[in-house]
Structure 1
Amino acid sequence: MAGKVGNGDGATASVRNPSHYFSNHRRKIKRARVSSEDLDSISSLPDEILQVILSFIPTKAAIRTSVLSRRWRHIWCNIPSLSFFQEGCTNARESIEKILSRYTARKMMSFELRFNWNYYYPYVYSWIEFSMNRNVENLSLTLCIEDIPDIFYINSSVKQLYVKSGYTILDPKCSVSWTSLKILSLHTCNIYDEPFAKILSGSPNLETLRLYFCDELCVLDLSKSPHLKTLEIESEHWLQGAKIVAPHIHSLRLRFTISDFPYTLVDVSSLTEAELDIDSVSTEKLNSSFLQTIVLKILEKVQNVEKLTLGGNFLKALSHADLHGFPFPKFKAKVLTLDTTISRCVISGIVRVLQNSPELKKLTLRTMDCDAIKEENLDSHLDLYCWNPYLCLEARTLEKMVVRLGPYRNTRGFKELLQMVPMLSHDNNVSIVLSATKSRIRETKWSNGHFIYYN
């Protein structure tokens, strides 16, 4: 018995076997669905776009895409970035050698290598050379080797260089030629004054220098690097008493540990922005000598910056300096950021900085967990001095105060913060923004001694 089935345009078609017709129809729909999936939006992109996308994921994951289809089989071979990490496997060398043998890109944007096994060093040399022959621009090396071959120091393409190693000695025997280098980051590297001077002279276009725990340097002379604008230093021993001469830098970030090796900021006359903090402190080490020769000397050198950021431990040191009666310099900062909890052990330092910032326009408080100094020790000092910071807090030029409530759990500290707000001058209007980690909570305005709330 024949059946009639619609053909899609309003007409009907006679079919001798309706079940056979619908079975064929379902197969066609399935083939169409598979065809649609094959032509997904990602696979339809040009190879160049897919290679850029794959460069944002680990190299091993990018290689796994080769099993998706013939379309993907060789795409990874030309990605602009490669990254290799030690994973404890014994065949790591063979795997990397195989990958590099199939790599076809002539230009490499970034190459990252993280290996802590020193017996790989002959191969590491060849892998570094491989990336440099591909004119790599961003080179990141975390290694466990004693030396680096001279070819490493001759490269006209690298723009960003990161080297981390507690064993590597940076001591070029040849002239350094990093003519395109703009960002140099050295982490726990063994480098001394003379080799470092050679590196600087071979990097004429250097703009950013980051030194993390490179404590063998005694003289940091950056006067012959006119393009260098940003300097960041984290040190356990203040570079063993280094003299820092950096007349061209605009931005300075210092984070250090109290030690017996005071250093000197000889020349930072072009600074417009500074960030200061102490990694960890104890009350016993905050003696008069340290406060005068380190903390307050730093403040004198950064007093003309427009943007100033102070960390919690640095503010605690300033509180002790204030309690000892040491004079503070006048600041020209228009923007002040404080990364700290609000507690009695930092209030004294905060207030003194505010009092000495007559041009301040914006104050930002970013609440942090920072309790390296035992607060009860400072509390006893505060009680002894019968000191009330709120009696003298006044900011006549302040226009905006931003409070970022991060991992804030100190109820007493928050009450201290609220007590600070009414002490702002009654003669000006201050916009106060309270914001959480992800979203703004409430904005208020302090106007003529009263709060005005905004939703």
Structure 2
Amino acid sequence: MSKSLDGVTMIPPEKRARHDNEDSLSELPDCVLLHILSFLNSKYAVQTCVLSTRWRYLWKRIPTLILHSSKFSTMKRFATFVTRILTRRDSSVTLHALDLQRMGIIETKLLKVILNYVCSHNTHIQRLGIDFTADSCPIMSCVSKCRALTSLKLSIHPTCYMTESLFPESLNVPLLTSLDLTHFTFCGGENGCAEPFSAFTKLNSLVISNCKVKDAQILSISSETLVDLIMHSFSFKFPKTKLSTPSLCTFTFTGRPVQKICGNGLSSVRQVNIDAKDFPALMEYALVLLTWLQELVRVESLIVTSTTLQVLSLVPDLLEVKFTTLCNLKSLEVELIPFHYDSLLYMEKAVLKKVAAKSRKEAAKLRKAFKAGLRPSPIPDGIVDFLLQNSPSAKVNITTAHPSSFNLNQVEESVKGVKNISYCSQFAAHASPASAAESASAAVPASAAKLEVKTHDIEMVIA
């Protein structure tokens, strides 16, 4: 009968021996097996020790630790697993990467153990990812010691809105090429600007989410090497973003377009992705969004959501604006996003206000239609033609993950003047439920229907 260790069913020795004779994977050299195991969550990597005697201690020499609490049934089991794997891992093997995700508030004792372990490998660790909730965190003092870092991802969620995680004005990690920050505060200097990234001379990719600026009016992003910039937020607490990024190729934004972009701005960008939130929909946001589009001198690919177009449509007399940009546009993709109830009310109110400024009679008709159940078109009339005024031959693709939320005829009517246009297959699939079911069935391999792997009860194997 099999034995159990920490809730894990162990394979009897006689069965292991039988498997050893048929296991060609185990004949691979250690370096190959360790490379394969580096891609696994550490919980599953440790579980491979039950496969055979060949695998029993391999997990101790994996150079990567992926520790996610979502893979454990309780936080206590997760904490126990993390503590044990750090103490029983082969200390002579350098740690190259650590990815920690702890749902909720992390225990102070556990955090201290993890950070001490990272510091003990500070001269070799290259990739570090930390994601948890805490009031205060000594993580930056640990990061400052890791001079070999090339990739850093930090998401320190506050327990209340008053809590701040300050990002240091100068962080000496000279090899850093990728930086991803969530819920951080950047402090301003004497010149009225916050310049938190100027020391990263090799930075290639930057992601900032729900970050704030303190004691400054401008967030300055200055980098000769930055290629990709992603900004996620529903409200940045500063009015301007200054870009000095001559190599920037891709710009992605999600949230409320609050900040004006100055400096050389978006003039070098080739691909732009914008998802402007429509709750609340304000004319101020629409005007900022328009200034962004007027900066796109070299853009070739523009991806926007329908809510972005809804916000943009609030610009007074928008269709009469003449662009000098968007001349090199080769493709325009519009992703249709369903209105949430609150967003719908805000958008209807904003549309009525815009129509009423021209004709109260037309506004009264529209108000009556809204009450009768009419919904604003997901793509405002004429707005796609407006974006293509300097690139009429650009390809247009309409996509959605929610085909049941839209009337295809209404969508087609709003872009009827566009010639080079295509629609995603979801619309056709939704029109034919049977074909949709067949497509879904075809997408799943037949073998998957017969395969059932039960690992939710397996929390840990550390011999």
Same-fold status (TM-score > 0.5): yes
User: Could you list the runs of 5+ residues in structure 2 that have no partner in the other structure?
Assistant: 1-13, 159-163, 356-360, 367-379, 431-463
Match of 1:129 in 2: 119
| CA deviation after TM superposition for structure 1 residue 316, in Å | 0.8
Match of 1:112 in 2: 99
User: Cα gap change, 1:194/1:78 in structure 2, threshold over 3 Å: closer, same or farther?
Assistant: farther
Preserved contact between residue 316 and residue 373 of structure 1 (Cα < 8 Å): no
Q: Distance in 2 between matches of 1:315 and 1:391?
A: 7
User: Could you list the runs of 5+ residues in structure 1 that have no partner in the other structure?
Assistant: 1-30, 336-360, 442-455
Q: Distance in 2 between matches of 1:67 and 1:391?
A: 60
Q: TM-score, normalised by structure 2?
A: 0.68
User: Cα gap change, 1:129/1:211 in structure 2, threshold over 3 Å: closer, same or farther?
Assistant: same
Preserved contact between residue 281 and residue 313 of structure 1 (Cα < 8 Å): no
State the percentage of identical aligned residues. 18
Match of 2:137 in 1: 146
Match of 1:418 in 2: 412
Preserved contact between residue 210 and residue 233 of structure 2 (Cα < 8 Å): yes
Preserved contact between residue 257 and residue 276 of structure 2 (Cα < 8 Å): yes
Query: What pairs up with 1:274-285 in 2 under 5 angstroms?
Result: 274-283=272-281
Match of 1:97 in 2: 83
User: Cα gap change, 1:295/1:45 in structure 2, threshold over 3 Å: closer, same or farther?
Assistant: same
Bigger radius of gyration among the two: 1
Question: Which residue among 435, 438, 449 is the counterpart of 2:424?
Answer: 435
C-alpha RMSD of the superposition: 3.9
| CA deviation after TM superposition for structure 1 residue 42, in Å | 2.2
Match of 1:311 in 2: 305
Preserved contact between residue 19 and residue 52 of structure 2 (Cα < 8 Å): no
Q: Distance in 1 between matches of 2:383 and 2:67?
A: 59
Preserved contact between residue 147 and residue 169 of structure 1 (Cα < 8 Å): no
Query: What pairs up with 1:54-453 in 2 under 5 angstroms?
Result: 54-86=37-69, 88-90=74-76, 93=79, 95-104=81-90, 106-115=93-102, 116-120=105-109, 121-133=111-123, 135-143=124-132, 144=134, 145-148=136-139, 150-167=141-158, 169-172=165-168, 176-194=171-189, 200-216=197-213, 218=216, 219-223=218-222, 225-248=223-246, 249-257=248-256, 262-268=259-265, 269-283=267-281, 286-287=282-283, 289-292=284-287, 294-323=288-317, 327-335=321-329, 361-371=330-340, 372-374=343-345, 376-377=348-349, 380=352, 384=362, 389=381, 393=385, 397-398=392-393, 400-412=395-407, 414-419=408-413, 423-424=417-418, 430=420, 432-436=421-425
User: Cα gap change, 1:281/1:265 in structure 2, threshold over 3 Å: closer, same or farther?
Assistant: farther
Preserved contact between residue 148 and residue 169 of structure 1 (Cα < 8 Å): no
Aligned residue-pair number: 372
Q: What SS class does the counterpart of residue 57 from structure 1 fall into?
A: coil
Q: Distance in 2 between matches of 1:410 and 1:171?
A: 42
| CA deviation after TM superposition for structure 1 residue 290, in Å | 4.4
| CA deviation after TM superposition for structure 1 residue 77, in Å | 1.0
Higher relative contact order (CA 8 A, sep 6+): 2
Match of 1:11 in 2: none
Q: Distance in 1 between matches of 2:413 and 2:81?
A: 62
Q: Distance in 2 between matches of 1:405 and 1:37?
A: 49
Q: Distance in 1 between matches of 2:101 and 2:295?
A: 38
User: Cα gap change, 1:33/1:94 in structure 2, threshold over 3 Å: closer, same or farther?
Assistant: closer
| CA deviation after TM superposition for structure 1 residue 165, in Å | 0.7
| CA deviation after TM superposition for structure 1 residue 438, in Å | 12
